[in-house]
Each structure stands twice: as structure tokens, then as C-alpha cells.
């Protein structure tokens, strides 16, 4: 599988409600074409078992590698101003190192970037979106400090190669998902199951890798290129299941402390983990007879290096949960046992088809934006992912889904004009239907429908795309009340 175009749709919000509206998309393509090396998701998807819906793979998906011109037509049809996409690490550096550069990969991304700019579309580029080169995983992956050095070298290569034209960079997309699902529970690539240690160790190294890449840009490229660098953090909004329960109130604080704050606190505030994480994990580790806390520690020098390594706040938001306290037997280490919470979905919330986890709660985004403003020193915020799925087969008339988007835009406007949150952009997941990780092709998030049974993989706009195009054409958020 190839995360060549991993991106989202963006509304660029400004003083007059909306300066511009742009859309990006996550589209996957030829997983082994033109010298690309294998990634952990190639390996994960090709292994036997029922890890992925109907044992589907990302071998072809939307084939943006060969059909980029068709994607560009979709972008132009919508009138986008910004487009977010990710680079495939193993397409550029097949073994994960700069020892060998795949020139075909460089030429492909040059084409993407240059054609976007030629059409007055600003690229936002993500260096890493789940697809670690398999060669690096074979040597420990994100559990190894060597991957920190390899990522920094990869980032340096990308800044040097594409930074003359790219001014918005994301280092790592959703490190929480990689840590929790990739190295703790093993339900996503690379499929490592190390409860109680895997998530913490992999997250530790991803934070250090992000900081190293930020400093590489800051010292070596910022002056001449003038770009901005951040990390995309995903989080639900949470509220106590029983608002009057002190136990549930504390549980809600722990939940966000072990989710968003896990990464945001060291990067934006202190250079170190939230106190609530350090205290809870240390206490649970002691109960389990561990000689020290299972949460790794940053050295004083590392804390100084990590603190302040983001030029804006990049947020991925999909849903909201009610949280209640839940006692766990502490005999076996696990991150779930450390946080001691249970997530509950309010039965009154609608749920997007195709994703049983995706309760539609637009007001949760406003609350989360306000939390970030108040907690992280009023940063500029890009909402780098937000979207709603449909189950397959998906109707082209997705009026219900457009209503979800409309309500979400209303909440963003409230955050801007009532809460004074500095939202700079809103990216919707995603431009095209594509391979949605363990959900395969059964979950469709695209603004454009893709017929995966047709070898030509035609792109056809859903109603939501048509409605978005109207917003873009008027250059402001209008008709949000009906």
C-alpha cells in the first residue's frame, strides 16, 4: 500500500468568514510501482487472516500514482485553494534511509507539487502517515531510537528536495493511532501487541523524531524557505457521563490527558508528559512490581529540545464520547488499565454509516477548539482532518452527510466569532473514496465516489462535493441555515 496522497479538504477561514475553500484527499495507489519499497501497511495487508475488511488490500485503491491528472481535475472542479497530501517514505527512500533515493518517486511528487502550484493551489505536505518502511520496522520500528535518526534524515531530504515550493509541513499524522493501535493493541500496522509498554515507547520516539525534524527545518531551511512545521494530533472531545460525578469528571480529564495532551503538552508547553500520565503510570507500574515507571522519561536536554517545536496546532477531529471512571485489575500492564476510563456513546447522537465508531457530534469540535485555545496559549489552529463516512454502496445523493458538514461549519464559526479561536483552516477527509485501513473499501469518506470494480476507477462527485463547490465559488460560508 502507498500513502502517496493522504490528505483532506480544507476551508481556509478568515476575517470575512471564509477567504477560500480548498479540498484535499487521501488516495492510495500502486503499492510497488516504479521502485517503491514495502511499507508496514503493505506487509500488514498482505498477511493472512481477517485483519482487514474482506481481506482487502491497498494494492491499487484510487491509483493516484497513475491517475494524478484525474485527481487534479477533481481539485480544479471544486476550485480548491489548498490541498493536503502525504509523501510515501518508502517510495522516496525504499529502505528508509538516504543510502538510495528512488528518482521516480521524486519526479512524481515534483509533478504533484508543481501542478498544484500552477493551478494556484497551496500544498500542505505530510511526511509520515502510518506507512513506515518495512526495512525500518524490521530493525525495531518506532520502538527503536534508530528510527528517530532515520526520520530526521528523511525529513532533511524532503525539506531540501521539495521545500522551495512547500511552505506547510506536517511531520507525523496521528501518532496516537500509530502508538495505540500499531504497537499496543496490534490492530493496525505493524501489528505489534505489547500492552503497557509498546504505545509509550513508540510515542516517545515519535515525539523525539518530530522535534528533531522541526529543528532540522528551523536551523537549516526556515530562513531561505519561509515555511511552517507542525504535527497532526487526533483527539475526540470528551465529557463526563455523569456531570455531577467527581469520579467521572476526573476520568474525562484523564482521557484527554492520555490522548491529546500526551503529545501536545510536551510539544507545545513543557517538553515533558502531562503530570496526570506520569503519576498514573508510575503508580500502576509500582503496583505491578515494575522496577520503574513503564512510561519512558525524557532527559533534561530532550525536554528543552522538544518544547516549542510546532508553528501551528494541527488537529484531527471526528467524534465525541461520554467518559466514566472504570476500575481495572492491575495485574497485567496496559494503557487502558493505566487510564481507568470507559467510553460511552450517547444513544441520541446519530452515527455515520460505514463507521460504527463515528458518532456525529459537531458541537464537540467547538468545545475541543476552545480547550486547545485555553490550554495551549491560543495557537493558530488548522483542523487537518474531519469527515463522515458512508457504507458501501454509497448513494451519490449524500444529503444527510452534507447536513453533518453544514452543522460542523456552523460550530467552527461559533468557535471563531464567539470563542475567539484562531482557526486558519478546515480540512475534510477526504477528496476520494479509498482504502480506509482496516475497514478496507467498506467505509467511504470521499467527496468523490470511486468505482473500485471499474478498472478505470472513475471519479464522480457526491452531492456534498457539489455543495462544497458552491461555497468555494462564493468565497464564503453561506446558506448554512438551510
Annotated active-site positions, please? Answer: 174, 385
Angle, in degrees to the nearest 10, between helices 399-417 and 463-474: 40
> Edge-to-edge strands of the sheet including 237-240?
237-240, 320-325, 341-344
Residue with cell 464520547: 321
Between strands 448-450 and 459-461, the pairing is antiparallel
Selection from 256, 302, 267, 255 nearest residue 379 by Cα: 267
Handedness of CA 279, 283, 285, 286 (dihedral sign): positive
Contact status, residue 158 vs residue 109, Cβ threshold 8 Å: no
Instruction: Give the rounded distance of the alpha carbon of 310 from its chain centre.
Output: 15
Interior/surface letters 464-476, b for 16+ CB within 10 angstroms, e for the rest:
bbebbbebbeebb
Residue pointed to by grid coordinates 456513546 = 345
Q: What nine digits make up the cell of 22?
A: 480548498
Residue of 40, 297, 339, 277 whose CA lies nearest to 182: 40
Give residue for cell 472513475: 458
In degrees rounded to 5, what are phi and psi of residue 425?
A: -165, 155
- The backbone torsions φ and ψ at residue 125, rounded to the nearest 5 degrees and listed phi first, read -115, 130
**Beta strand 423-428 with 381-385: parallel, antiparallel or unpaired?**
parallel
Host H or E run for residue 199: helix 198-220
Q: Could you tell me if 3 and 65 are in contact, meaning their C-beta atoms sit under 8 angstroms apart?
A: no
Report the C-alpha gap between 172 and 129 in whole angstroms: 6
**C-alpha distances out from residue 349 to 191, 355, 356, 482, Å:** 32, 14, 12, 20
Q: Are 365 and 416 in contact (CB under 8 A)?
A: no
DSSP bridge partners of 444: 390
With beta carbons less than 8 A apart as the criterion, state whether 431 and 446 touch.
Answer: yes
Amino acid at each position: 500500500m502507498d500513502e502517496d496522497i493522504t490528505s483532506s479538504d480544507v476551508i481556509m477561514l478568515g476575517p470575512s468568514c471564509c477567504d477560500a475553500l480548498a479540498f484535499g484527499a487521501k488516495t492510495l495507489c500502486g503499492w510497488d510501482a516504479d521502485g517503491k519499497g514495502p511499507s508496514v501497511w503493505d506487509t500488514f495487508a498482505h498477511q493472512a487472516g481477517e485483519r482487514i475488511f474482506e481481506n482487502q488490500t491497498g494494492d491499487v485503491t484510487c491509483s493516484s500514482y497513475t491517475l494524478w491528472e484525474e485527481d487534479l481535475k477533481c481539485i480544479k472542479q471544486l476550485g480548491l485553494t489548498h490541498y493536503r497530501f502525504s509523501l510515501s517514505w518508502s517510495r522516496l527512500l525504499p529502505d528508509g534511509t538516504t543510502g538510495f533515493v528512488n528518482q521516480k518517486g521524486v519526479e512524481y511528487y515534483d509533478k504533484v507539487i508543481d501542478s498544484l502550484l500552477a493551478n494556484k493551489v497551496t500544498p500542505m505536505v505530510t511526511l509520515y502517515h502510518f506507512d513506515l518502511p518495512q526495512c525500518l520496522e524490521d530493525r525495531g520500528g518506532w520502538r527503536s531510537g534508530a528510527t528517530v535518526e532515520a526520520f530526521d534524515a528523511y525529513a532533511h531530504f524532503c525539506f531540501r528536495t521539495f521545500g522551495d515550493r512547500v511552505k506547510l509541513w506536517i511531520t507525523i499524522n496521528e501518532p496516537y493511532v500509530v502508538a495505540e493501535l500499531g504497537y499496543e493493541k496490534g490492530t493496525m500496522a505493524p501489528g505489534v501487541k505489547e500492552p503497557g509498554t509498546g504505545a509509550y515507547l513508540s510515542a516517545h520516539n515519535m515525539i523525539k523524531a518530530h522535534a528533531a525534524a522541526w529543528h532540522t527545518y528551523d536551523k537549516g531551511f526556515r530562513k531561505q524557505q519561509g515555511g511552517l512545521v507542525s504535527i497532526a494530533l487526533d483527539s475526540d472531545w470528551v465529557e463526563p457521563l455523569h456531570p455531577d460525578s467527581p469520579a467521572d469528571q476526573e476520568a474525562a480529564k484523564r482521557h484527554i490527558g492520555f490522548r491529546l495532551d500526551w503529545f501536545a503538552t510536551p510539544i507545545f508547553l513543557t517538553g515533558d508528559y502531562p503530570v496526570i500520565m506520569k503519576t498514573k503510570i508510575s503508580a500502576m507500574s509500582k503496583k505491578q512490581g515494575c522496577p520503574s515507571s513503564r512510561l519512558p522519561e525524557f532527559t533534561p536536554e530532550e525536554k528543552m529540545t522538544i518544547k516549542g517545536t510546532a508553528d501551528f496546532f494541527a488537529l484531527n477531529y471526528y467524534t465525541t464520547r461520554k467518559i466514566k471512571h472504570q476500575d481495572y485489575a492491575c495485574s497485567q500492564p496496559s494503557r487502558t488499565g493505566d487510564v481507568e476510563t470507559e467510553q460511552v456513546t450517547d444513544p441520541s447522537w446519530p452515527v455515520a454509516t460505514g463507521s460504527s465508531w463515528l458518532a456525529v457530534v459537531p458541537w464537540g469540535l467547538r468545545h475541543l477548539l476552545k480547550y486547545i485555545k485555553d490550554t495551549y496559549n491560543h495557537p493558530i489552529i488548522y483542523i487537518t482532518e474531519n469527515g463522515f463516512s458512508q457504507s458501501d454502496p454509497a448513494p451519490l445523493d449524500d444529503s444527510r452527510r452534507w447536513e453533518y458538514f453544514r452543522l460542523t461549519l456552523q460550530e467552527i464559526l461559533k468557535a471563531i466569532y464567539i470563542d475567539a479561536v484562531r482557526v486558519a483552516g478546515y480540512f475534510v477527509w477526504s477528496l476520494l473514496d479509498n482504502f480506509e485501513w482496516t475497514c478496507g473499501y467498506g467505509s467511504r469518506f470521499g467527496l468523490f465516489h470511486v468505482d473500485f470494480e471499474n478498472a478505470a476507477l472513475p471519479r464522480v462527485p457526491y452531492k456534498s462535493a457539489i455543495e462544497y463547490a458552491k461555497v468555494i465559488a462564493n468565497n464564503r460560508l453561506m446558506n448554512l441555515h438551510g
